[in-house]
Amino acid sequence: MYTVTVRTHMMIAHSLPDPFFGPAAKMHGATYVVDIEFSSATLNPQNVVIDIGAADEAAREVVGALSYQNLDELPVFKGKLTTTEFLARHIHDEMRAKLKGVFLGGLKVVLNESHVASAGYASAAVNQ
């Protein structure tokens, strides 16, 4: 399996209004290092999984739309608990939509919340 990974980051504010989350139920900030991995069993005609520049640009656009935002105020997240896992899936789905027709391989998004904790979401190839 071939892989290409691009990395970016985001700083967000949000709350997780459920007693389950203890102190994180209140408004707080989070800084994530975001790793987006593209995978494929084969290379394309140009001998790459995906153009790294295109992957990096898409990642910066998708993640950039969330950076420096209070997620509680964004209509797309109204009534949602924007956990790290939930955000990984959201970024994954936005990347998949942005690269539709350009990249059909496996896609994995990992949000590194600190040096000891991360969460992610992955999917297999689509129509490949």
Q: What is the pLDDT of residue 126?
A: 84
Tell the residue number behind the tokens 């991995």, with chain if given.
37
Q: What is the mean pLDDT of residues 12-21?
A: 98
User: The pTM is what?
Assistant: 0.95
CA 6 to chain centre: 11
92: tokens are 């994954």
Check residues 69 and 126 and name the one with the higher pLDDT.
Answer: 69
Q: For 89-127, write each residue's pLDDT tens digit.
A: 999 999 999 999 899 999 999 999 999 999 999 999 986
Say what the pLDDT of residue 84 is: 98
Q: At what angle do helices 52-64 and 84-98 cross, to 10 degrees?
A: 130
Mean pLDDT, rounded, for 56-77: 98
115, 90, 113: which is closest to 28 by C-alpha?
113
**Structural domains of the chain in order of their starting residue, each with its CATH number:** 1-29+42-71+93-104+113-128 (3.30.479.10)
